[in-house]
């Protein structure tokens, strides 16, 4: 395939450069990014892929991205860490274009698109040397484009990607002037100040919970990689339930979990399939993952890109996995109990505390990634709010893919679009071989279809 880079003025505007400190939760996610890169894996990166029905005007797209940078200057920043700065922050670089590449693919099929996207996702992107958000336009021979938003999770959460896409679409083909950048504030720190006593109690509960999670380790589908395992190359696989299957599944599962989200039902089925595949060779004593929880922080208009979620752990033992409906109820109860005890406050309070001791934070996060995560998981609900069209082209589908690392070896992201559930797996073939990954996806969808009957 032929690639050509389209970006990058090297001149910096004469205006004063100001840094944007990372907020409390950003810093914890930065520790995850550091730990992954220290273990030899690509950083804590996520992609959102928008599949379009025709070509996009590249000049108009570049103009829209230039307006977006004016609205969100953090997009072209570089990460500074001590001793270069008193605390971690984004060093703004006024006048720079955001990273944007255009590639002409040699095939129009889905596998070719996913292969290219996985190569991008496998490339180490240190935020001290690369923009924390990057854009790629993949042009297919059939006259259609795929637009890729590639971002570091320490900058923002997936929920904010849809807002970024809507902003690009609003600027596309118009002379709409972007608003001036707002003064950045640490919204999470302000949020924590409102809960001084609860915050301390929640932090203690969180510390005790992590101790219990680490005891005995988590069951994983993947295997640990040796020091000389070579390049950590990621691969992608996608599946889909059609609208009829999705509607039947929603009707069946909403009454079981007692929650409007399908997340716990799909997570429970994923755990059940992993257990069937690993059998007696299970390398841990329980199943665990983190669930993203919105902190309820009010987003002031123009506040900029920040990550405003906390990752609350849920855990279940293998002996409770026999009945899929019971698994759903247990996991739904787990997440409700976590929120009732304000564990989300404890997560961000603990992050604030660990920020004072970066070495301990890095060690703690590395231990969690290696021993307390069965798979990295996210259910993003409906993504229909992106709209029917993007940059003048009809949107055929949209979904996201995330990072993966050993020994978990697998990330499962799920979202709904146009009435269909989309399942995306990122995996390390060296840890989870491709045939095993296909067995996992086959088993997961088979179980969900059976549950919708």
Q: Are strands 78-80 and 45-52 parallel, antiparallel or unpaired?
A: unpaired
Residue 136's SS3 state is strand
- Please state whether the peptide bond connecting residue 407 to the residue before it is cis, i.e. omega within 30 degrees of 0: yes
- Residue holding tokens 């190569």? 119
The pLDDT tens digits for 24-73 are 767 778 888 988 988 889 999 999 999 999 999 999 999 999 999 998 99
The pLDDT tens digits for 310-330 are 888 899 999 999 999 999 999
CB 46 within 8 A of CB 141: no
- pLDDT score, position 391: 96
Residue 178 has pLDDT above 50, yes or no: yes
The whole-chain average pLDDT of the chain stands at 87
- Mean pLDDT of all residues in 272-294: 90
The pLDDT tens digits for 229-264 are 667 899 999 999 999 999 999 988 877 756 667 899
- As to burial, measured by CB atoms within 10 angstroms (0-12 exposed, 13-18 middle, 19+ buried), residue 409 is buried
Query: How confident is residue 182, by pLDDT bands cut at 50, 70 and 90?
Result: low
61 contact partners, CB below 8 Å, separation of at least 6: 100, 137, 168, 172, 391
- Mean pLDDT of all residues in 404-420: 96
Residue 374 has pLDDT above 80, yes or no: yes
Report the distance separating Cα 39 and Cα 224, nearest Å: 11
| Phi, psi for residue 73 in degrees, rounded to 5 | -65, -15
- pLDDT score, position 8: 36
Report the distance separating Cα 326 and Cα 379, nearest Å: 20
**DSSP result, 18-67:** -EEE--HHHHHHHHHHHHHHHTTS--SEEEEEEEESS---HHHHHHHHHH
- pLDDT score, position 12: 34
| Cα 447 to chain centroid, rounded | 25
Which residue from 326, 340, 342, 343 is spatially nearest to 257, judged by alpha carbons?
Answer: 326
The angle subtended at Cα 75 by Cα 136 and Cα 348, nearest 5°, is 115
Query: How confident is residue 193, by pLDDT bands cut at 50, 70 and 90?
Result: confident
- pLDDT score, position 11: 33
Rounded percentage of the chain residues whose pLDDT exceeds 90: 52
| Phi, psi for residue 230 in degrees, rounded to 5 | 85, -165
- Residue holding tokens 């609860």? 198
Question: What pTM, to 2 d.p., does this model score?
Answer: 0.91
The pLDDT tens digits for 376-398 are 999 999 999 999 999 999 999 99
Q: Which of 19-28, 95-104, 389-398 has the lowest mean pLDDT?
A: 19-28
CB 39 within 8 A of CB 428: no
| Phi, psi for residue 295 in degrees, rounded to 5 | -80, -10
The pLDDT tens digits for 44-57 are 999 999 999 999 99
């Amino acid at each position: 395939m032929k690639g050509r880079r389209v970006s990058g003025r090297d001149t910096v505007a004469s205006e004063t450069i100001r840094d944007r400190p990372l907020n409390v939760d950003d810093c914890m996610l930065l520790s995850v990014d550091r730990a992954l890169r220290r273990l030899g894996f690509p950083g804590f990166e996520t992609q959102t892929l928008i599949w379009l029905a025709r070509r996009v005007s590249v000049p108009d797209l570049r103009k829209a991205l230039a307006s977006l940078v004016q609205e969100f200057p953090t997009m072209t920043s570089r990460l500074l860490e001590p001793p270069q700065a008193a605390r971690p922050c984004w060093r703004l670089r006024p006048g720079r274009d955001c990273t944007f590449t255009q590639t002409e693919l040699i095939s129009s099929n889905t596998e070719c698109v996913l292969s290219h996207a996985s190569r991008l996702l496998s490339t180490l992107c240190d935020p001290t040397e690369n923009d924390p958000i990057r854009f790629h336009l993949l042009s297919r021979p059939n006259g259609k484009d795929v637009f890729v938003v590639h971002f570091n999770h320490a900058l923002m959460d997936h929920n904010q990607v849809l807002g970024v896409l809507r902003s690009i679409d609003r600027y596309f083909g118009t002379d709409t002037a972007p608003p001036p950048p707002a003064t950045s504030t640490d919204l999470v720190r302000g949020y924590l100040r409102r809960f001084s006593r609860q915050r301390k109690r929640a932090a203690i509960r969180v510390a005790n919970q992590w101790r219990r999670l680490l005891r005995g380790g988590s069951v994983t589908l993947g295997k640990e990689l040796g020091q000389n395992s070579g390049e950590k190359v990621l691969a992608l696989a996608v599946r889909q339930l059609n609208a009829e299957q999705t509607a039947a599944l929603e009707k069946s599962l909403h009454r079981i979990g007692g929650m409007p989200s399908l997340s716990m039902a799909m997570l429970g089925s994923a755990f059940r399939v992993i257990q069937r595949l690993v059998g007696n060779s299970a390398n841990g004593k329980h199943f665990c993952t983190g669930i993203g929880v919105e902190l309820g922080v009010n987003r002031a208009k123009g506040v900029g890109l920040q990550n405003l979620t906390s990752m609350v752990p849920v855990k279940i033992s293998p002996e409770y996995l026999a009945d899929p409906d019971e698994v759903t109820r247990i996991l739904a109860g787990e997440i409700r109990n976590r929120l009732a005890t304000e564990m989300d406050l404890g997560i961000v309070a603990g992050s604030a505390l660990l920020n004072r001791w970066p070495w301990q934070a890095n060690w703690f996060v590395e231990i969690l990634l290696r021993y307390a995560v069965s798979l990295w998981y996210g259910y993003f609900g409906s993504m229909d709010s992106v709209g029917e069209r993007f940059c003048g082209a009809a949107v055929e589908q949209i979904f996201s893919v995330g990072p993966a690392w050993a020994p978990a070896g697998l990330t499962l992201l799920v979202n709904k679009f146009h009435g269909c559930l989309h399942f995306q797996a990122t995996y390390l073939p060296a840890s989870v071989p491709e045939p095993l990954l296909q067995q996992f996806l086959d088993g997961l969808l088979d179980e969900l279809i059976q549950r919708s009957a």
